[in-house]
């Protein structure tokens, strides 16, 4: 899990940030990214791609990462931006915002996926990085827990859709709720499962 960080260190980089997002697939809510710079002596068992971890495990790891990291930040792109510029561009924008929000400026970025971000910082895209890089895995946990908390908050405003349970993902119950009630103000109107209902209306 340290191979990419160690390689960057041998190339002379000091502040290496892992960057990942959560929320590309949901039909509602924002996409949230996190950037995390870990110290070399970081020790935290069980860190992995957030999708492979239970909610309980993610919630337990979140404060440990926040406590031990050199710097942690998040960046958000709203459902409105997602509809305007598409989910890929919104994801990359939220990643850029997360990096810009770091209290310590990184000199190298490890980005989950196959795309780099539009910043004047040396960087490398790492496919399946959330299960191959400790920094990206840590960022995936921060992003996921942060986004889940946002969706739980939105549940209070729009209880008919049960965001607290599925966090906006396209479950059968969520799609049925959209058909029954129509989209709410935080739904992504360009997404399949939402746009058909909008067009039919």
pLDDT digits (tens, 9 = 90+) for 53-66: 999 999 999 999 99
pLDDT of the residue at 24: 97
First to last CA, the chain: 49
pLDDT of the residue at 201: 67
CATH architecture, domain defined by 3-196: 2-Layer Sandwich (3.30)
Task: Provide, rounded to the nearest whole percent, the portion of the chain with pLDDT above 70.
Answer: 100
Helix (H, G, I), strand (E, B) or coil at 104: coil
pLDDT of the residue at 70: 97
Give alpha helix (H) positions in the chain: 3-10, 55-68, 79-85, 87-100, 134-157, 163-166, 172-181, 195-200
Return the residue matching tokens 């479950």: 171
pLDDT 10s digits, 130-163: 999 999 999 999 999 999 999 999 999 999 999 9
C-beta of residue 80 within 8 angstroms of C-beta of residue 51: no
Q: Show the tokens assigned to 57.
A: 């495990």
Q: Show the tokens assigned to 108.
A: 């190298």
């Amino acid at each position: 899990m340290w191979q990419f960080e160690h390689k960057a260190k041998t190339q002379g980089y000091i502040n290496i940030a892992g960057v990942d997002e959560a929320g590309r697939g949901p039909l509602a809510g924002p996409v949230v990214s996190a950037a995390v710079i870990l110290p070399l002596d970081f020790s935290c068992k069980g860190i992995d791609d957030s999708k492979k971890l239970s909610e309980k495990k993610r919630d337990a790891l979140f404060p440990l990462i926040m406590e031990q990291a050199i710097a942690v930040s998040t960046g958000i792109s709203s459902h409105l931006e997602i509809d305007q510029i598409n989910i890929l561009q919104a994801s990359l924008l939220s990643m850029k915002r997360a990096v810009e929000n770091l209290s310590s400026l990184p000199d190298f970025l490890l980005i989950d996926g196959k795309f780099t971000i539009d910043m004047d910082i040396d960087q490398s895209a790492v496919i399946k990085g959330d299960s191959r890089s400790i920094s990206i895995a840590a960022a995936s946990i921060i992003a996921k827990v942060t986004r889940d908390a946002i969706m739980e908050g939105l549940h209070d405003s729009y209880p008919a859709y049960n965001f607290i349970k599925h966090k906006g993902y396209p479950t059968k119950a969520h799609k049925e709720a959209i058909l029954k009630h129509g989209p709410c103000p935080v739904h992504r109107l360009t997404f399949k499962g939402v746009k058909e209902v909008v067009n039919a209306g």
